[in-house]
Amino acid sequence: MTATAVVPHSDLDPFSDAFLDDPYDAHRALRDAGPVVYLDHYRVWAFARFAQVRAVLTDPATFCSSAGVGLTDFRKETPWRAPSLLLEADQPEHTRARHAITKVLTPKVVRRFRDTFTQAAEVLVGKLLDRGTFDVVADLAEAFPLQVFPDAVGLPPDGRENLLPYGSMVFNGFGPRNHLFEEAMAGGVAVRDWIMAHCEADALSPDGVGALIHQAAAEEGYEPGERALLVRSFLSAGVDTTVHGLGNAVFCLATHQDQWQALRADPSLARAAFEETIRFESPVQTFFRTTTVDVQIAGVTLPAGEKVLTFLGAANRDPREWENPDEFDLSRRAAGHVGFGAGTHACVGQMLARLEGEALLGALARQVETLELAGPPVRQLSNTLRGLQTLPVRVG
Ligand code: OVV
């Protein structure tokens, strides 16, 4: 069949402030325009429907990651940092890196953190309850992962303030060179140097996950420099994502009082509440892939070597897949969303993320009776992440 179908074009800029501030109407327009849409602004193909996003993510041979999962095509332009051995790799290199990491992130290791995370969450929530009013983003959604995650990795106590600015560079770095990209990269040399230095074995405590990664990577035959690069994946992907997930979860609960009451009545819903948040306000909104061959989709031929943009957040609210997708509902089966991706590249840390979510939302459910906004939430714009800059609340 020849490619005769007409491709809908869109002049939407998914990395503009207006789009990022409130993407949901634009997501609907992209989904309704067709299974694949051409974005004139960036000359890339866009997928916003659940079925197509899932199809792209689960066909890594056709839609590869090694040309980068941001707008930059690594085959044509030099990326701002050395490519990730995990995220920005294809078979067989990706499989090898993934194997080294899954050897470490076993259910047993994740279980080891359950008590630590739960206790830390209970203590933190207890302190905030005493204060009454606080900023969910700084005091809870950032404070909690910034304590438990670097502890788990085995980072020293000093210098952890570099983790969020680095995450901002990474996630804004997937987008175009707009003001968000430039602002994130500004003055980042010291941040990058700190991160790279703390990926080395001698900077990590011997009993942490970072040291275990070095061990597992050595067993896989990786050179020391490559082992450090695998640790970099943890420091890149492990903090900002959970910060936004936790902040979004509290935002959803505070603005959906019936769901907050449901969680309070049954704190064992904490895990479901986190999962529904990942679907409803997906912290990671977008990732790119690159076509490796000419590929036919819905009668349209996408040439080889083209960037395609998958809208995870739009797929997670596609009415073709979800009932009442714009309702935040803890009782729905949110499993199957693509907020953690799908296929071979699906989030390798998702069990750790869920554990953080369960611990923190569980602590809130057990200790807090009333949760209400104490001021207007302010959004934090990012080329990839959806989340808040500040979220003032009052608890009782
Ligand atoms: C999923 C993700 C996000 C950002 C960075 C990385 C992975 C990495 O492997 O560096």
> Per residue in 32-47, is it b (16+ CB within 10 Å) or e — as a string?
ebbbbbbbeebebbbb
On whether residue 2 sits in a domain, the answer given is no
Distance CA 18, CA 22 (A): 7
Place of tokens 């940092």: 81
On whether residue 288 sits in a domain, the answer given is yes
Q: Which atom of ligand 1 is nearest to the CA of 347?
A: 1
Q: Which atom of ligand 1 is nearest to the CA of 85?
A: 9
pLDDT beyond 90 at 273: yes
- How many other β-carbons are positioned within 10 Å of the β-carbon of residue 351? 16
Domain count, the chain: 1
On whether residue 68 sits in a domain, the answer given is yes
pLDDT beyond 80 at 5: no
What is the per-residue pLDDT for 172?
98
Q: CATH no. for residue 25?
A: 1.10.630.10
**Assigned token pair, 318:** 């596609």
> Which stretches of 186-256 are DSSP H helices?
189-197, 209-219, 224-237, 240-255
Distance CA 361, CA 263 (A): 9
Residue 123's domain comprises 9-395
On whether residue 214 sits in a domain, the answer given is yes
For residues 82-106, average pLDDT? 98
What is the per-residue pLDDT for 1?
45
Distance CA 301, CA 304 (A): 9
pLDDT digits (tens, 9 = 90+) for 42-53: 999 999 999 999
- What DSSP assignment string belongs to 273-298? HHHHHHHHT-SB-EEEEEESS-EEET
pLDDT digits (tens, 9 = 90+) for 9-28: 999 999 999 999 999 999 99
Nearest to 29 by CA among 318, 286, 280: 318
- Best residue for ligand 1 mutational test, from 66, 164, 170 (most atoms within 8 Å of Cβ): 170
Nearest to 83 by CA among 92, 73, 91: 73
The mean pLDDT value of the chain amounts to 97
For ligand 1, the distance from its centroid to the CA atom of residue 391, given in whole angstroms, is 26
Q: Which residues pair with 38 in a beta bridge?
A: 9, 45
pLDDT digits (tens, 9 = 90+) for 289-306: 999 999 999 889 999 999
For ligand 1, atom 8: residue with the closest CA: 233
For ligand 1, the distance from its centroid to the CA atom of residue 283, given in whole angstroms, is 13
pLDDT beyond 50 at 394: yes
What is the per-residue pLDDT for 4?
56
For residues 148-169, average pLDDT? 98
For ligand 1, the distance from its centroid to the CA atom of residue 45, given in whole angstroms, is 22
Q: Which atom of ligand 1 is nearest to the CA of 241?
A: 3
On whether residue 17 sits in a domain, the answer given is yes
For residues 369-392, average pLDDT? 98
For residues 188-213, average pLDDT? 97
Distance CA 186, CA 173 (A): 12
For ligand 1, the distance from its centroid to the CA atom of residue 332, given in whole angstroms, is 29
pLDDT digits (tens, 9 = 90+) for 31-90: 999 999 999 999 999 999 999 999 999 999 999 999 999 999 999 999 999 999 999 999
Q: What is the DSSP letter of 305?
A: T
On whether residue 180 sits in a domain, the answer given is yes
Place of tokens 């895990």: 271
Q: Could you tell me the pLDDT band of residue 185, with boundaries at 50, 70 and 90?
A: very high
**Using a 6 Å CB cutoff, which residues line ligand 1?**
84, 86-87, 170, 232-233, 236-237
- List of residues 6+ apart from 393 with CB closer than 8 A: 133, 134, 135, 136, 250, 254, 371, 372, 373, 374
The number of CA neighbours under 13 Å toward the Cβ of 138 is: 9
For ligand 1, the distance from its centroid to the CA atom of residue 83, given in whole angstroms, is 10
pLDDT beyond 60 at 353: yes
For residues 103-129, average pLDDT? 97
Rg over alpha carbons for the chain, rounded to the nearest Å, is: 21
Residue 67 in contact with residue 290, Cβ under 8 Å? yes
For residues 171-182, average pLDDT? 98
Nearest to 391 by CA among 191, 149, 136: 136
What is the per-residue pLDDT for 333?
96
Specify whether the backbone of 298 is left (phi greater than 0), alpha (psi in -120 to 50) or beta: left
For ligand 1, atom 4: residue with the closest CA: 237
On whether residue 4 sits in a domain, the answer given is no
pLDDT digits (tens, 9 = 90+) for 225-272: 999 999 999 999 999 999 999 999 999 999 999 999 999 999 999 999
On whether residue 1 sits in a domain, the answer given is no
Distance CA 177, CA 15 (A): 10
- Best residue for ligand 1 mutational test, from 69, 86, 98, 243 (most atoms within 8 Å of Cβ): 86
Nearest to 304 by CA among 80, 75, 93: 75
Residue 48 in contact with residue 192, Cβ under 8 Å? no
